[in-house]
Structure 1
Amino acid sequence: MSKLKAAVAAAAALTLVVVAGCSGDKSDGGTKGNAGNSSITVFNGSTGTIVENWNPFSPTLLQPTQGLIYETLYWFNFAKESDPTPMLGTAFSWDSAGKVLTITTRDGVKWSDGQPFSAKDVAFTFDLVKRTPAINASGLKLVSSVAKDDKTAVLTFAVPSFTAEAAVIANTPIVAEHVWSKIDDPAKSINPNPVGTGPYQLKTFSAQSYVMEKNPNYWQAGKPQIQNVRYVALATADAATAALTAGQVDWMSAFLPGLEQLLKNQKNLTYVNTPAMTTSIFTCAGAELGCEGPQTDPAVRQAIYYALNRDQLNKLAGGGFAETASPTLLLPERDKKWIADQANATTPGAPDVAKANQVLDAAGWVKGSDGIRAKGGEKLSMTIQTVTGWSDYISLNDAMKQELKEVGIEVKPTQLSWNEWNNNQVQGKFQLSLDSIGLGASTNPYFTYLKYTTVTTAKVGEAAQNSGNYSRYKNPRVDAAIAAATNTNDEAAQKAQYAIIQQEIVKDLPYIPIYVNSMLTEFSTANAVGWPTNENKYALPASWKSWDNGVVLSNLQPAK
């Protein structure tokens, strides 16, 4: 049986799983041109059992929580150069010192339970963040958060916070005071009955799939037009391919080998590529915070960096769609003005085996009879985790295993469900992990470099903040530089601080960049139209992208 025929057969099996998981929800969708009965299915990378969590502040939240259920004051489109788009906020302004931010909120907004939204909810949200360090993912130094009236919220910060602007207005989910004032622990609650202002609300949930339905109280007139959105978990890349080509999935973002050939004769299928995320080896680097293993040695991390054959990795795993990364973890082209030393603008394409060996020799790692190095009785052997079914990352691990063996480093790939993989990163219970970095609250490097700060991490076994410093990296110079960058609105002064950070992280490499991965997103027009295109990237189209996901779904219309 050919691979495609096998995939179609797998799709038939998937249908049974989806129907069983939704217990009758199939009647909610599939009717073209009928908004009241329209439905699409989304795969956002989830594999294995789905664990319920609608807490918009949690690092293990279900992704539609941010964008479909909860919204921010403003929204940034990373797919193109653009100004922030007003959402729950309509205006904002700083005082001259950058310590007081005044926000004007939108009229006529209701929560999904019908209660009115006001600036009091905004003030409550930021006060909740101030009182709960575990949900203060951006390390905001808030002094107070008050509502002057129903349309005006005033936030006061302890230090100038110009660089935190995007985190405040575009990356903080606004929650309802009448709901969250009754939640005992906002960091740990799974928020089983979410109430938001977004275009959708929770309809049904199971461990295999869940369904979001149109929020009848949504503030954007005439939106959304798609009544039901079903999210499913798939096991493998073959299952994803099967679901897409057999019409079982309408929207997904996944690397599919031979994508152009696969879609060649599929009249309803199309794709866009918006590379913006740097695929990297996350290392549990901080021995001081409880990390264990050879990867806590900076020399090992440096050797890995030099030993990788990135050109080969792109051919074998990236499908040729990947672009060159930077050891600064910025994007070489988009962020050129922020990269202080052009020698660090890009990663090497070819390996430097001699350099990798030199670094390890100098650090005392000696090759044994089996070709694997050791030091002080510890073998230079580490596990690297990725998600079951992520075929490009699985291929990366297999190829890197061979490349690193040449310099005496043993890497043991493991595949886990998304939930287990993510929880390991959040808790620091890993040695190496394959993931990607990028897409902070804005294109200012401040948001990328928060991932290197002590304030966004925690000891191993404790949860690091959402999208925080999973590496457990601790560097006082980096902490001081990010704090100094926060205190100024002067771009030249910020660049000087980012130069310090870049010098440190290029040396220490807690996150080891591989390449800027393709961001391939596939769509079907069988049940819905209005998807982003290469000509009209009105939102970053990835199905897993927080905030943008709500924008995309709000702009779809049922197919005629």
Structure 2
Amino acid sequence: MTDMTPRTTRRRVLAAVAAATAAALALTACSGGAGGTGGGSSAPGDKDASITVFNGSTGTINENWNPFSPTALQPTLGVIYEPLFWYNLAETSDPTPLLATGAEWNDDGSELTVTTREGVTWSDGEPFTAGDVAFTFNLLQKTPELNTSGTAATAEATDDTHVTLTFPEPDSFMQEAQVLGNQAIVPEHVWSGIDDPITTINPEPVGTGPYTLKEFSSQSYVLQKNESYWIEGKPSVQEVRYISLDTADAASASLLAGEVDWMSSFLPGLDQMLEGNEHISYVNTPALTTSIFTCSNADLGCEGPQTDPAVRQAMYWALDREQLNQLAGGGFAGTGSPTLLLPERDTDWIADPAHATTPAGADVAKANQILDDAGWEAGDDGIRAKDGERLSMTIQTVSGWSDYISLNDTMKQQLAEVGIELEPTQLAWNEWNDNQVKGSYQLSLDSIGLGASDNPYYTYNGKYLSANSAKVGEQASGGNYARYSNPKVDAAITAAASTSDEAEQKAQYAIVQEEIVTDLPYVPIYINSTLTEFNNATVTGWPSNDDKYAFAASWKAWDNGIVLKTIQPAG
């Protein structure tokens, strides 16, 4: 079988044969128990089964089905609209062909030729062709406001099933996952007639995905099965209702009452809560590295003790992560890595085994020695100081993020043992986010998210490349909120992006890792749990801890479509 993975030294990176396609798309649902159901779902075994989903929406829902908009409703991507390929970030696996069946780079990495799938129709009955793919990428190029990912390709359909994407520079291999797996394809016959693709909410979306819009209100909306979907027999569930709830307590109550079938929420004491509820299951998909973001670069305007690498190193060693997991993570968190990769999924990308995982307990002696050597001396109140500056820092988090608030309270006690004063503050999300983007903070509690694929480039480019930062007060829209700058790291990331040779990429990432585990502009705590809960009374075949066929979170774009066409009525 031809290798389908993008992490390859071959130029033909995604040649999919029919057998591979069928195997990837026939996502067989697993068996599950049947039983009673609540008011939000259909009866078990109902051929017209419907489910209710809570994906985190609170308050009024604002309608927006524009797949180019950062505020589009979550099922827009993957449920209504589809990409060319789908990348499962829950585990290491080959990309799954969706609207494309293959793709091939030319030798210098300046052109990517995509073979599109035949026999696909849009939900209004019009045929899908390579011309729609070319139109989508050309729309991005002529409308920069839509091109939030920085995709650089222009496109030309050479016939109905082939489109060539041309990049302005050679060695553009790292555009691959973004282009193939993170861009919704839209129908030319619809979008060519939209006067303002930037502001439209696209109230009557036409996609190729497994569901179409049935009805919308400010408190809920319903998607119905796309009867002309291109995979025969998929999906099996007739309707999906997305609802808004006010609080986490309301979400857990709805789950236990059988009124919600799919939700992702951190529920303290989850195992005890589910005792006696045989129809409810959950999956834990730790994937986001909860970290202390630091405004680290004094040259770009950051102010405070955190600009000293020794302070960041001392924080790293002073944390008792086992205690933090038990007190704030509910015992569900996974072990992180100072490389900011996922130790289990990304083992092959971590160069030095010594950097594979963070320490479990605190090494107070080591933290104290680091601070002593850097000239931070203990004061009468136990808090260190240097050159008249107290080792005191403010750390921000979002009001209502209970687990993060608990993290800050516990870290305050832990860091005090080595003479570091932590001052937690809670802000509204908008203010917290604005502070991070503009660098108006000392420390901030946040997580490092998932990239377009599991290649480390998608973490390292955004979080560490100098070009993706900005002076304090200006927006670091590229994602380098730490204002980190290191010429060695810049050169290595750039070199990794210019090759499809995995061995060479690993060599460059080894350089990056050696630098960032010393500089620690982001201090990793743990891999935050991503708990997702399911009601198996109405449908079965949800992802499980043994079968993470998709990233199961009810808020995850793209993966929702995979889950919804895999589950099937119980009974």
TM-score range relative to shorter protein = 0.7 to 0.9
Between the aligned partners of 2:323 and 2:501, the Cα distance in structure 1 is 41
**Superposition map of 1:297-376 within 5 A:** 297-360=308-371, 371=382
1:85 corresponds, among 80, 84, 96, to: 96
Report whether the alignment pairs 1:464 with 2:474.
no
Between the aligned partners of 2:192 and 2:470, the Cα distance in structure 1 is 26
TM-score of the superposed pair, with normalisation by structure 2? 0.81
Note the C-alpha offset of 1:387. 5.9
Partner residue, 1:95: 106
Partner residue, 1:384: 396
Residue deviations 1:48-96, cap 9 Å, x none? 5545544434444433222112211011223344322110111111222
Between the aligned partners of 1:47 and 1:401, the Cα distance in structure 2 is 31
1:245 corresponds, among 245, 248, 256, to: 256
1:549 corresponds, among 560, 563, 567, to: 560
Partner residue, 1:7: none
Determine helix, strand or coil for the equivalent of 1:311: helix
Partner residue, 2:19: none
Report whether the alignment pairs 1:230 with 2:235.
no
Partner residue, 1:263: 274
Note the C-alpha offset of 1:317. 1.9
Determine helix, strand or coil for the equivalent of 1:532: coil
Partner residue, 2:512: 501
Partner residue, 2:569: 558
**Superposition map of 1:191-206 within 5 A:** 191=202, 193-206=204-217
Residue deviations 1:322-341, cap 9 Å, x none? 22211001122332332223
Partner residue, 2:12: none
Is the contact between residue 326 and residue 344 of structure 1 (CA under 8 Å) also seen in structure 2? yes
Shift in CA distance, 428/199, structure 1 to aligned 2, threshold 3 Å: farther
Report whether the alignment pairs 1:153 with 2:163.
yes
Name which of structure 1's ranges 445-454 and 426-435 shifts more when overlaid on structure 2.
Answer: 426-435
Residue deviations 1:348-406, cap 9 Å, x none? 22223344445556666666665556676687331321362x44333222212322333
AA in 2 matched with 1:198? G
Partner residue, 2:503: 492
Shift in CA distance, 63/450, structure 1 to aligned 2, threshold 3 Å: farther
1:414 corresponds, among 410, 416, 426, to: 426
Is the contact between residue 45 and residue 570 of structure 2 (CA under 8 Å) also seen in structure 1? yes
AA in 2 matched with 1:150? D
Between the aligned partners of 2:63 and 2:118, the Cα distance in structure 1 is 32
Between the aligned partners of 1:368 and 1:49, the Cα distance in structure 2 is 51
Determine helix, strand or coil for the equivalent of 2:354: helix
Name which of structure 1's ranges 145-154 and 163-172 shifts more when overlaid on structure 2.
Answer: 163-172
AA in 2 matched with 1:491? E
Between the aligned partners of 1:486 and 1:433, the Cα distance in structure 2 is 29
Between the aligned partners of 1:77 and 1:108, the Cα distance in structure 2 is 24
Note the C-alpha offset of 1:241. 2.2
Is the contact between residue 39 and residue 258 of structure 2 (CA under 8 Å) also seen in structure 1? no
Gaps of 5+ in 1: 1-25
Between the aligned partners of 1:235 and 1:292, the Cα distance in structure 2 is 38
Is the contact between residue 103 and residue 115 of structure 2 (CA under 8 Å) also seen in structure 1? yes
Is the contact between residue 397 and residue 446 of structure 2 (CA under 8 Å) also seen in structure 1? no
Superposition CA RMSD, Å: 3.4
Partner residue, 2:78: 67
Residue deviations 1:260-280, cap 9 Å, x none? 222120021012223333222
AA in 2 matched with 1:385? T
Determine helix, strand or coil for the equivalent of 1:174: coil
Determine helix, strand or coil for the equivalent of 1:340: coil
AA in 2 matched with 1:151? T
Residue deviations 1:422-462, cap 9 Å, x none? 66656666554433335322222122212222455566564
Is the contact between residue 41 and residue 259 of structure 2 (CA under 8 Å) also seen in structure 1? no
Report whether the alignment pairs 1:512 with 2:523.
yes
Shift in CA distance, 31/275, structure 1 to aligned 2, threshold 3 Å: same
Residue deviations 1:114-144, cap 9 Å, x none? 44322122122223344455655555443x3
Note the C-alpha offset of 1:30. 3.7
Note the C-alpha offset of 1:291. 5.8
Partner residue, 1:401: 412
Is the contact between residue 162 and residue 489 of structure 1 (CA under 8 Å) also seen in structure 2? yes
Determine helix, strand or coil for the equivalent of 1:301: helix
Residue deviations 1:188-241, cap 9 Å, x none? 665555443222334445554443333444333333233332333445443332
Is the contact between residue 280 and residue 514 of structure 1 (CA under 8 Å) also seen in structure 2? yes
Partner residue, 1:532: 543
Shift in CA distance, 345/106, structure 1 to aligned 2, threshold 3 Å: same
2:232 corresponds, among 206, 216, 221, to: 221
Is the contact between residue 453 and residue 473 of structure 1 (CA under 8 Å) also seen in structure 2? yes
Name which of structure 1's ranges 47-56 and 515-524 shifts more when overlaid on structure 2.
Answer: 47-56
Partner residue, 1:14: none
Partner residue, 1:453: 465
Shift in CA distance, 199/51, structure 1 to aligned 2, threshold 3 Å: same
Name which of structure 1's ranges 192-201 and 539-548 shifts more when overlaid on structure 2.
Answer: 192-201
Between the aligned partners of 2:367 and 2:293, the Cα distance in structure 1 is 19
Is the contact between residue 429 and residue 461 of structure 1 (CA under 8 Å) also seen in structure 2? no
Partner residue, 1:20: none
Is the contact between residue 398 and residue 413 of structure 1 (CA under 8 Å) also seen in structure 2? no
Gaps of 5+ in 2: 1-37
Note the C-alpha offset of 1:480. 2.3
Is the contact between residue 270 and residue 522 of structure 1 (CA under 8 Å) also seen in structure 2? yes
AA in 2 matched with 1:213? Q
AA in 1 matched with 2:525? I
Q: Judging by fraction of residues, say which structure has more helix.
A: 1
TM-score of the superposed pair, with normalisation by structure 1? 0.83
Residue deviations 1:3-50, cap 9 Å, x none? xxxxxxxxxxxxxxxxxxxxxxx99954554454x4322223344554
Is the contact between residue 395 and residue 445 of structure 2 (CA under 8 Å) also seen in structure 1? no
Note the C-alpha offset of 1:102. 0.7
Report whether the alignment pairs 1:111 with 2:122.
yes
Is the contact between residue 318 and residue 363 of structure 2 (CA under 8 Å) also seen in structure 1? yes
Name which of structure 1's ranges 268-277 and 216-225 shifts more when overlaid on structure 2.
Answer: 216-225
Number of aligned residues: 529
Note the C-alpha offset of 1:296. 4.8
Shift in CA distance, 430/116, structure 1 to aligned 2, threshold 3 Å: farther
Is the contact between residue 45 and residue 544 of structure 1 (CA under 8 Å) also seen in structure 2? yes
